[in-house]
Amino acid sequence: MAQAINQALADCLAEDERVFVFGEDVGTLGGVFRITDGLAAKYGERRCFDTPLAESGIVGMAVGMAMNGMRPVVEMQFDAFAYPAFEQIVSHVAKMRNRTRGTVSLPMVIRAPYGGGIGGVEHHSDSSEAYYAHTPGLTVVAPATVADAYGLLRAAVAWPDPVIFLEPKRLYWSKEEVTLPAPTEPIGRAVVRRPGTDATLVAYGPSVQVALAAAEAAREEGWDLEVVDVRSIVPLDEQTLVASVRRTGRAVVVAEAPGFASVASEIAALLSERCFHALSAPVRRVTGFDIPYPSPKLEHHHLPDVERVLDAVATLQWEDA
Question: Do 107 and 54 touch, CB atoms closer than 8 A?
Answer: no
pLDDT number for residue 17: 97
pLDDT number for residue 320: 52
Active-site residue 302, yes or no? no
| 3-state SS assignment for residue 233 | strand
pLDDT number for residue 233: 98
pLDDT number for residue 319: 63
Cα–Cα distance list, 132 to 43, 129, 263 (Å): 31, 5, 10
Cα–Cα distance list, 186 to 64, 216, 236 (Å): 27, 27, 12
Q: Which residues contact 234 (CB under 8 A, 6 or more apart)?
A: 132, 133, 138, 139, 140
User: Buried b / exposed e across 195-228, counting CB within 10 Å, b at 16+?
Assistant: ebebbbbbbbbbbbbbbbebbebbeeeebebbbb
pTM: 0.96
User: Mean pLDDT, consecutive 10-residue segments, the chain of 321 residues?
Assistant: 97 98 97 97 97 97 98 96 96 97 97 95 92 98 98 98 98 92 95 98 98 97 96 98 98 98 98 97 97 94 97 84 50
| 3-state SS assignment for residue 228 | strand
Q: Which residues contact 71 (CB under 8 A, 6 or more apart)?
A: 12, 16, 18, 19, 20, 107, 108, 109, 157
Question: Do 134 and 188 touch, CB atoms closer than 8 A?
Answer: no
Which residue of the set 92, 123, 124, 301 is catalytic? 124
Helices within the chain (DSSP H only): 2-15, 39-43, 55-67, 86-88, 96-99, 129-133, 146-158, 207-218, 238-248, 263-274, 299-302, 306-314
